[in-house]
Amino acid sequence: MPSPRRQPSKGRQSPATTLPAASGAAFLPALKASGPDEAVARVLAAWMRQHEERSPRTARAYKREAGALLTFLQRMYGPGLGCLLTAKPSECSAFVHAVLGLAASSRALKAAVLRGLFGALVIEGLRPTNPATDIRIRNAASGKHHPAMSQASVVAVLDGLKEGESLRDVRDRALLLLALAVGARRFELAALNVGNIQREGEGKAFVEFTGKGKKSARMSIKAGVLRAIDRWLAMAGHGSKPDSALFHNLSHRREHAGRRLTGGGIRVIVKRYFPRHSPHGLRARGITDVWQQSGANLGHAQAFARHSSPAVTERIYIQAEKLERALEYTYDYV
């Protein structure tokens, strides 16, 4: 008879389950330190202000990870900020890899926070070296990250929605077309108001929005996309209200119906039509289309993507074009 499986002790847990999901708020009280920790607190506060000025979204993520790091190190070194001055490379690597099953992109974020945080301490002379310099993680932008949807699948979905007469079909088609037309991220789509669509002459329009890092963007949209948006606005009945959300929730639940469509809601919509892809797959599809139609011009694709580095555009999106060309050589067994 096999022996019963040993039950885990209530007093002990593996590191994979004990790492806290610290919020940004957990990081801020530590910055009010005094005495020996005051210099560290001053450097960290200045480092965080730099990120808040560049991008509040990035700053929130950095605060969360910095708070988790402090909790992780303080379990070994005790309270205070002195743990940041004595942390070893092995401890930095342990923090990044403590949670099992974490996506490579999430580990890369943790590593980036550690490098920046400890780097600020090194610049100010509080540490001799950066213990996070040699953390090794598989490249999150490896080509498998947010793969582009195939052009054929996108066309099939849009053609199916074109035949639909329901308000939901009309909204979803307008949303998908706009996402492809400007390579929008889901938070950018969610934040759009009716007034962000600026019309100039017959069938000409632009969409104005604030993108990643608070960068303003003004991108033209073609007549077919504008017609789809106008149809949605006419059926939804809010086309004359510039401050109204461009896309709103059509849920039957009272607490959701009529409210602005959130990034999570956009994810649900995209998953309904493309179960194997994230909303970023639409953005990847749009960028890949620009790259293909411009004769493989990486500069055009980068400008459309609004990437600060062409390397990001090349690593993440151009793989979709290579895949589509490769598929031309598959054998037709039918």
pTM of the model: 0.55
CA-CA distance, 281 to 180, in Å (whole number)?
10
CA-CA distance, 293 to 305, in Å (whole number)?
14
Radius of gyration of the chain (CA): 24
Strand partners, 216: 210
In this prediction, residue 202 carries a pLDDT of 75
Q: Which of 176, 185, 129, 182 is nearest to 154 (CA)?
A: 176
Detail the DSSP E strand segments found in 194-275: 197-199, 205-210, 216-221
Give the contacts of 1 (CB within 8 A, at least 6 positions apart): none
Q: What is the DSSP string of 29-59?
A: GGGG--GGGHHHHHHHHHHHHHHHHH-HHHH
In this prediction, residue 26 carries a pLDDT of 45
Kindly give the confidence (pLDDT) of every residue in the chain, 334 residues in length, as a single tens digit, with 9 standing for 90 and above: 444 444 444 433 333 333 333 334 445 455 555 566 888 999 999 999 988 888 888 888 999 999 999 988 888 888 888 899 999 998 898 888 877 778 888 888 899 999 999 999 999 999 999 999 988 875 444 444 567 788 899 999 999 998 888 999 999 999 999 999 998 889 999 999 999 998 887 778 888 888 887 788 888 888 899 999 999 999 988 877 888 999 988 877 777 777 889 999 999 999 999 998 888 889 888 888 888 888 877 778 888 888 776 766 766 665 555 555 555 555 655 3
Q: Which of 67, 64, 70 is nearest to 86 (CA)?
A: 70
In this prediction, residue 3 carries a pLDDT of 44
Give the contacts of 188 (CB within 8 A, at least 6 positions apart): 209, 210, 211
Helix (H, G, I), strand (E, B) or coil at 27: helix
Residue 123 to residues 28, 39, 110, 115, 196, Cα–Cα distance (Å): 21, 13, 20, 12, 43
